[in-house]
Amino acid sequence: MVRVRYAPSPTGTLHIGGARTALFNYLVARHFDGQFVLRVEDTDQSRQIPGSEQAMMHGLKSLGIEWDEGPDRNDGPYGPYRVSERLGQHRAMADRLLAEHKAYRCFCTPEQLAQDRENRAAQGLPPRYSGRCRTLTTQEVQARSGERFVVRLKVPSEGETVVHDLIRGDVRFDNRVFDDFVIMKPDYTPVYNFAVAIDDYDMRISHVIRGEEHLSNTPKQIFVFEALGLPIPQFAHLPMILAPDRSKVSKRHGATAVEEYRDQGILLPALANYLLLLGWSSPNGEEILTLSEAIATFTLDRVQHTAAIYDQKKLEWMNHQYMTRLSVHEIAQSVRPFIDYPLTEGPDFEAVVDLSRERAVNLVQLAEHMRFFYEAPSRYESKGVAKHFTDQTADLLDAVAKRLKTVTPWDHDHLVQVYDDTAAALNVKRAALIHPTRLAVTGRTVGPGLFELITLLGRDAVVERINTAQNLIRRHQIPTVD
């Protein structure tokens, strides 16, 4: 059975790199009818942030990523799923390696280790443990009982270690670059590379799918598997996510955490779809894919080797696709938290959403595009005022308002006819009436089709706003905004 895992540290929020890793693991598990495990790497207590574990779980679920086993499901067959709760197993495995002379106690002081590093640096050599304690006899170790020590794994100093990577192919490491690394700290708790190997075995993980930054750790974990005689899982290291300038993605390129995207009005199904394409492509070239559709086609052999480039504009384009394709009801429910104006009076909310969403790339923008339906403009775009609010405009708007007061029924076709008839009577083009009307009614020069929006806004609001604007024009007291 395919068993994969996502193992975050509870040290912050769920960022796009971690979310992408979790998503790819989830899709592999579902594609092959396997299981997806959530494991929390909480061994570094000093870096933990209260509430981080729950926030990450919430972030994953909001993206549609569900796990089969995890710390919130204590009945899982291979738990517990917090690394801090598995110390007994880690210590037992360390004891076994000591007993089999595959690991040893190292009593070197921090000062000795620092001096060794300086000596090697002076010789132009990379930092590497000297092996001072590797050959201590049993009697010498017993004689130092009570001294502070760490446990180091005996690492082969010759040959090479090959990582058979499902994405990158065989990646070879010269064993001479590795020293006898620490597997248990002075408090007899495990370091990451030791704990993760044991936990992957105990949880029967078949495929370790993670970011490229972990590739250099993989040989060390293979050394642990080999020393314990355990089967080695298959590895797949996902390409990095870089900004367009090939730097690390940061806030200056856009949001970095899932909740930040949500707060910026990005629909989380759209974000999940975008993450899917950061390093993977559909066999049919499709870009808009639900998770169910992605599950049917997702395989690791379509994951690219080179870095994935984060593109905020592409994300916004994709978000716009979702905003126009999802049901009006779904978008209406999603945009409500972004509205900071009263909805007690005004046209039908879902109808306003439907009319306004075509021009919005996120929910924040959509909420702002909808504002004039519920709030009369208090300021008018300065460029529009300079172009469309001339002295003559007041007379044109007055003529339009008089005709709008009597038009029946108040619908799109009859409103078009009113503007055609008024323009003909005044011997002007229809645009000479439409542009000032839009600015008077909305305070803006662009937006939905004029006749659609005034149909929805209603006679009373439209006539009142036109009259307000023409009075301001006559008094030369038009408040503007850039």
- Name the residues annotated as catalytic: 251
Q: Which two tokens stand for residue 128?
A: 């590497």
Nearest to 440 by CA among 374, 378, 395: 378
Residues 6+ apart with CB under 8 A from 98: 104, 105, 151
DSSP string for 243-275: -TTSSBP-GGGS--BHHHHHHTT--HHHHHHHH
Q: Are 40 and 20 in contact (CB under 8 A)?
A: no
- Residue 97, classed as helix, strand or coil, is helix
Handedness of CA 312, 313, 318, 319 (dihedral sign): positive
- Shortest CA distance to 276 belongs to which of 294, 293, 253, 255? 294
**């569900």: which residue's tokens?**
66
Residues 6+ apart with CB under 8 A from 475: none
What is the CA angle 131-104-102, rounded to 5? Answer: 100
Quote the DSSP letter at residue 358.
Answer: G
Could you tell me the CA-to-CA distances from 471 to 59, 289, 432 in Å, in that order?
Answer: 52, 52, 18
Q: Residue 422's closest CA among 405, 402, 436, 450?
A: 402
Record the tokens describing residue 99, joined without a space.
């007993």
Helix (H) or strand (E) holding 232: none
Report the alpha-carbon distance of residue 305 to residue 249 in Å, rounded: 18
User: How many whole angstroms separate alpha carbon 352 and alpha carbon 459?
Assistant: 16
- The structure tokens listed for 433 are 């009436």
Place of tokens 């190997």: 197
Find out whether 370 and 436 touch, Cβ atoms under 8 Å: no
Query: Which of 441, 385, 394 is CA-nearest to residue 415?
Result: 441
Q: Please tell me the distance from the alpha carbon of residue 8 to that of residue 412, in angstroms, as a whole number.
A: 55
CA distance 122 to 126: 10
CA distance 348 to 237: 50
**Tokens 């994405």 appear where?**
167
Quick one: CA dihedral 184, 189, 195, 199, positive or negative?
A: positive
